Amino acid sequence: MQKLAIIASHPIQYYAPWFQYLSSTTTLAVKVFYLWDSGITQKVDVGFGKAFQWDIPLLTGYDYEFVANISPDAGTHHFWGLQNPSLISQINNYQPDAVLLMSYNYASIYHFLLCWNYHQIPLLFRGDSHRLLSSIGIKAWVRRQIITKIYQRFAACLYVGKANYEYFRYYGVAAKRLFFSPHAIDNDRFFAQAEIAKEQANSWKQEIGIPKDHAIILFAGKFEAKKRPLDLLQAFLQAKLHRVSLLFVGAGILENDLKSQAAGYANIYFAPFQNQSLMARTYAIADVVVLPSYGNYETWGLAINEAMCLSRPVIVSNHVGCAQDLVHPGKNGLIFPAGDVLALTHILQEAFSNLERLHNWGQESRNIILEYSYRQSTQGVTQALDSIMNGQTKFT
């Protein structure tokens, strides 16, 4: 039995169920090493601007241990937020056959990479970055040299989608060292909740005050600049859609701006942050889900996975990492140029020009998301490990 150590920043609602799946469906002995305890204890999330903890179990069904974090400002919002001096010794005590890193851009993990004997015990990396908005100049050149050196320490890299694959190739990772491990959520949990979520959504719609005969455009997430909720607000106002409401669900620094700009207009509604147990209901209320993010920050957009599990059509900008993989224009949704409010306006008008077609797009979303599950994610891990252990994957 191979022993796999996984280094993760903190318990995350998308990853913990996958770790459970890895532990229960493979012959691997899996142990997760967490560098921070956010998610299971109440902590302030910088993006949401409020303290919360997830309301689903994140520490059951797999082996784990926490690594003491001595950072005076602990968190994943800055480089020095993870400082874990005992990380290497705790990993060594586990005596793994391989180590999988879920991120690297923190002080603690850089130290680990510099000191770890990766020739003796190989490293894997699963990332989701992309270069959909590319940069040029001397800083970009220096960055490329540094990141290329970092990836040379990994025996294999797991890519989550097409944009992420191109990112790894740009930074010099050979194709033979790349293994497909798609971004996924706990599909089964959302599938199981789908029917009751629809009933709950009908009641919630009434509570919010949205007219019964209105279709709903949903934005669910952090109200922050990189996610561009203000673009969606302006596009909605310009689209002048008949019997359609816009619902913002979440919290964040732009909340006051959104509410100020929405004041005086009809059919725009707000609901507070919804925890994980209510997310199925959140998507079930929607007729279409929109993620208009700009830049390289929306590395994937797992909210789109969630929405598709609830058979929802989706609209995303072309800077959203999952766009090339999950959104098939004219089949389950539409894609528009990031930051282009006029294009988004036309996209909304196109989507609601045929409500029957919009419904059919939602059904296709569910078909597509079946191929983005923990089963496929796990296959990538096991294929990478097999390649490493059989000597097929060499360092470059």
What are the tens digits of pLDDT across the range 252-282? 999 999 999 999 999 999 999 998 889 999 9
Q: Token match 């491990």: residue?
A: 181
Q: How far apart are CA 129 and CA 126, in angstroms?
A: 10
Residue 106 has pLDDT above 70, yes or no: yes
Residue 142 has pLDDT above 90, yes or no: yes
Mean pLDDT across 317-342: 98
Q: Does residue 238 contact residue 343 with C-beta atoms inside 8 Å?
A: no
Q: Residue 39: what pLDDT?
A: 80
Q: How far apart are CA 313 and CA 25, in angstroms?
A: 31
Mean pLDDT across 365-381: 98
Closest by CA position to 343, among listed 258, 190, 231, 207? 231
HSE-CB for 206 with a 13 A CA cutoff:
5
What is the amino acid identity at position 60?
Answer: T
Q: How far apart are CA 312 and CA 250, in angstroms?
A: 19
SS3 content of the chain, % helix, strand, coil (to 5): 40, 20, 40
Give me the torsion for CA of 119, 7, 84, 112, rounded to 10°: 20
What contacts 23, CB < 8 A, 6 or more positions away? Answer: 30, 61, 62, 63
Residue 221 has pLDDT above 70, yes or no: yes
Rounded to the nearest integer, the mean pLDDT of the chain is: 95
Q: How far apart are CA 43 and CA 61, in angstroms?
A: 23
Residue 396 has pLDDT above 50, yes or no: no
Which domains are seen in the chain, by residue range? 3-185+373-389 (3.40.50.2000), 187-369 (3.40.50.2000)
Q: How far apart are CA 393 and CA 220, in angstroms?
A: 41
What contacts 145, CB < 8 A, 6 or more positions away? Answer: none
**pTM, entire model:** 0.93
Q: Residue 134: what pLDDT?
A: 86
Q: Does residue 293 contact residue 130 with C-beta atoms inside 8 Å?
A: no
The partner residues of 32 in beta bridges, in order of sequence, read 6, 64
Q: Token match 């959302």: residue?
A: 190
Mean pLDDT across 384-392: 89
Q: How far apart are CA 350 and CA 1, in angstroms?
A: 54
HSE-CB for 85 with a 13 A CA cutoff:
2
Residue 386 has pLDDT above 80, yes or no: yes
Mean pLDDT across 96-114: 96
Mean pLDDT across 50-67: 88
Q: How far apart are CA 285 and CA 295, in angstroms?
A: 28
Q: How confident is the model at residue 40 (pLDDT cuts 50, 70, 90)?
A: confident
Q: How confident is the model at residue 41 (pLDDT cuts 50, 70, 90)?
A: confident
Q: Does residue 46 contact residue 22 with C-beta atoms inside 8 Å?
A: no
Closest by CA position to 96, among listed 117, 78, 77? 117
48 vs 376, which has greater pLDDT? 376
Residue 394 has pLDDT above 60, yes or no: no
Closest by CA position to 332, among listed 369, 278, 298? 369
135 vs 83, which has greater pLDDT? 83
- Alpha carbon of residue 75 to chain centroid: 17
Phi, psi of 142 (to 5 degrees): -65, -40
